[in-house]
Amino acid sequence: MTTIKVRGKVWKLGDNIDTDVITPGKYLSLPMDQLKQHVLEPINPDFAKLVKPGDVIVGGRNFGCGSSREQAPRALKEVGVAAVIAESFARIFFRNAISIGLPVLICEGVSQAFSDGDVLEADFSTGEIKNVTKGLALKAKPLPPMMLEILSAGGALELLKKRFSK
Amino acid sequence: MPMTLAEKILARASGNREVAAGDYVTAKIDVAMAHEGASWVIDELMRAGIDKVWDSERIVILFDHWAPAPTELTATMHKKVREFVKRHKIKHFYDIKAGICHQIMPEMGHVRPGELIVGTDSHTTTYGAFGAGGTGLGTTDMAVVFVTGELWFRVPETIKFQVDGSLPKYVTSKDVILKIAGKYGTEVAQYKSVEFEGSAIRAMSLASRMTLSNMTMEIGAKFALIAPDDKTISYVKSRTTKPFTPMYPDPDASYEKVYELNVSDLEPQVAFPHSVDNVKPVSEAEGVKVDQALIGSCTNGRLEDLAAAAEILKNRKVHPDVRLIVIPASREVYLEALRAGIIETLLEAGAVVCNPTCGPCMGTHLGLLAEGERCISSSNRNFKGRMGSSKSEIYLASPYVVAASAVRGEITDPRKLMEVRK
């Protein structure tokens, strides 16, 4: 079975983090190397500078609500965010994240269990989540095998490439 | 097994006799729509080294988010897409003159009941107003569709809104969906299909139903379906000669939940910043000063919306401290409004009328907001910073409320303004 594991420092965000907050429309036509400098700017203008590769976002409810812009999960991935774990996700953000190869997981209680800077460990194939700092364990519903397959290929496009190179 | 409308649409598209909520299926796409998002789809395909499309007649490409191109970057984006359209002989391409995707799609006959339609835009749920399974995708998924014509779907659970009663004067489908968002929150339909039924829905024009299906996206919906009736069928037949098979939910289909509303006493509603479910009746918003008012967007930029604004603005003037921006949703809407004298009324009142485009709704061009400014808008989202400065505010309401507020310079109940004249 495909295994995807992540370990990283937590950035805690609230409920209804929308796609205009993640990647504001006024920057949307910029190339990704510039757009990513503005990721989450409306709520934290320094996020893109401060985030370290491998960090993890813990979100509240309805993470990624709003537009279908794939730049939202992609900009997070490009600045180094290794995964997003939230109480719940907006449908298109969740789907886009899987398709571009950014691991995401729905986990009730996750925002209660983590504070900014805690170290998080997650196994996306079993749904096990640990707060290493606080010594807490949570259980989420694991991702279905099809999504794990897309993630481990590095995204839906990589799978498509394989299909066409056969 | 009885099926909901979403289950029927996905069963047919996936070649199954039956599907049920929770199933994963691979479905064939009937129509794929891409606006400027096409440019990012092309980037993905180039990255993958694939330069082919599955069916040049089932892909619809158009420009609406940056039309005409306000910057060199967006002009380059448009150029890239035009070249792709030529190279792949994409049959249905609408350049900058046409208008907003969700208006163009049904107008040009690309939305047919029972079909599965995907778009690079979250408000693709709008096509549910015609009984079509419309839903939004990102660019990677759309790249997969462009090449293969197929995509995986999880069959969603369905909830139903039974909406009865008759809407009072100056109260519209926008107020119904704002009321629903305010009462049940932005997650009530998260990952679900919504079906609307009831006498209030049946009485609505197709344009009003489109507003409803459009904004159902804001409560999380994957589809926002209204089963076809005579209005739907005669509209669609007037727009396309392609055959289609309307679908209807089985009478004993299984719904996760049914919500009942009676709209006979509904007041105009206003969504306060910065969330679509932060909704209050207009009586609790009156007196809030506004700097800008916007009538337009895929939510409320149709002929009946412009007519509503003109009804309010006839022989009145826009308040000197307010910029009223009016953006018809399509060239057809613009022409009809022009011929009906609506555009003249709006211009005389002091409105700025722009070409059909998404405009400032998503903060790309044509009237952005500065720090500390406030806009009342007929569009669909009031997220922080969406229309410009992250220190500006957006209030959402119907075209009636927006027009009345533009006159007074503060959020105004259109019923009170119209009383004054009597």
- Contact, B354 vs B270, CB < 8 A? no
Residues in a beta bridge with B69: none
Rounded CA-CA distance B389/B401 in Å is 23
Contact B187 A161 (CB under 8 A): no
pLDDT at A55: 98
pLDDT at A166: 54
- A118 SS3 class: coil
pLDDT tens readout for residues B159-175: 999 999 999 999 999 99
Contact A91 B222 (CB under 8 A): yes
- In A, residues 73-112, which contact B (CB 8 Å cutoff)? 73, 88, 90-92, 95-96, 99-100
- In A, residues 54-73, which contact B (CB 8 Å cutoff)? 61-62, 65-71, 73
pLDDT of B31 over the 60 cut: yes
pLDDT at B421: 56
DSSP B18-76: ---TT-EEEEE-SEEEESTHHHHHHHHHHHHT----S-TTTEEEE--TTSS--SHHHHH
pLDDT at B200: 98
- A146 SS3 class: helix
pLDDT tens readout for residues B70-116: 999 999 999 999 999 999 999 999 999 999 999 999 999 999 999 99
Chain B CB contacts of A42 under 8 Å are 384-385, 390
Instruction: Write out the residue range of the structural domain in which residue A42 sits.
Output: 5-165
**Binning pLDDT at 50, 70 and 90, where does residue B266 land?**
very high
Q: CB under 8 Å to B230, separation ≥6 — which residues? A: none
Q: How far is CA B191 from CA A110, A141, B219, B326, in A?
A: 20, 16, 9, 33
Nearest to A42 among B140, B381, B385 (CB): B385
pLDDT at A164: 78
- In B, residues 78-97, which contact A (CB 8 Å cutoff)? none
Of residues B272, B275, B267, B347, the one with CA closest to residue B306: B347
CB-based contact, A146 to chain B, within 8 Å: yes
Q: How far is CA B227 from CA A75, B115, B150, B246, B286, in A?
A: 38, 12, 24, 8, 37
CA B106 vs. chain centroid, Å, equals: 12
- B410 SS3 class: strand
pLDDT tens readout for residues B195-247: 999 999 999 999 999 999 999 999 999 999 999 999 999 999 999 999 999 99
Q: Which residue matches tokens 């410009």?
A: B388
Contact A29 B122 (CB under 8 A): no
pLDDT at A98: 97
pLDDT of B43 over the 60 cut: yes
Nearest CA in chain A to B70: A29
Calculate how close chain A gets to B348, using CA atoms only, in Å.
31
Calculate how close chain A gets to B396, using CA atoms only, in Å.
15
* Mean pLDDT rounded to a whole number for chain A: 95
Residue type, B11: A
- Range name among A99-103, A144-148, B369-373 with the lowest pLDDT average: A144-148
Rounded CA-CA distance B238/B58 in Å is 19
Burial class (CB in 10 A: 0-12, 13-18, 19+), A137: exposed
pLDDT at A36: 98
Alpha-helix residue ranges (DSSP H) falling in B185-218: 199-203, 206-215
Question: Class of the B269-421 domain?
Answer: alpha beta
- B275 SS3 class: coil
Q: Which two tokens stand for residue A116?
A: 């900014």
CB-based contact, A166 to chain B, within 8 Å: no
| Mean pLDDT in residue range B365-385 | 96
Nearest to A29 among B74, B152, B187 (CB): B74
Residues in a beta bridge with A63: A89
pLDDT tens readout for residues B4-23: 999 999 999 999 999 999 99
Residue type, B298: C
| Mean pLDDT in residue range B321-333 | 98
Residue A32 neighbours by CB distance under 10 Å: 15
Number of domain units in chain A: 1
**Binning pLDDT at 50, 70 and 90, where does residue A162 land?**
confident
Of residues A87, A82, A67, the one with CA closest to residue A13: A87
Rounded CA-CA distance B113/B213 in Å is 14
Taking the CA atoms of residue B387, residue B67, residue B94 and residue A93 in that order, the dihedral angle to the nearest 10 degrees is -30
pLDDT tens readout for residues A16-74: 999 999 999 989 999 999 999 999 999 999 999 999 999 999 999 999 999 999 999 99
Query: Where do the CATH 3.30.499.10 domains begin and end in chain B?
Result: 5-261, 269-421
Nearest to B44 among A28, A144, A157 (CB): A157
pLDDT at B212: 98
| Mean pLDDT in residue range A113-142 | 97
Q: Which two tokens stand for residue B75?
A: 């002009």
Chains A & B: contacts with CB separation below 8 Å: 125
Rounded CA-CA distance B189/B214 in Å is 13
- The CATH number for A146's domain is 3.20.19.10
Q: Which two tokens stand for residue A4?
A: 């995807």
| Mean pLDDT in residue range B27-39 | 98
Contact A92 B275 (CB under 8 A): no
Rounded CA-CA distance A150/A125 in Å is 13
- Contact, B128 vs B225, CB < 8 A? yes
pLDDT at A23: 96
Chain A CB contacts of B381 under 8 Å are 18, 20, 66
Nearest CA in chain B to A31: B73
Read off the DSSP letter of residue B171.
-
pLDDT of B404 over the 70 cut: yes
Q: What is the ipTM of this complex?
A: 0.94
CATH of B5-261, one of 3.40.50.2000, 3.40.50.300, 3.30.499.10, 3.40.50.2300: 3.30.499.10
pLDDT at B183: 98
Q: How far is CA B281 from CA A2, A42, B171, B202, B286, in A?
A: 51, 28, 11, 24, 9
Chain A CB contacts of B186 under 8 Å are 16, 62, 65
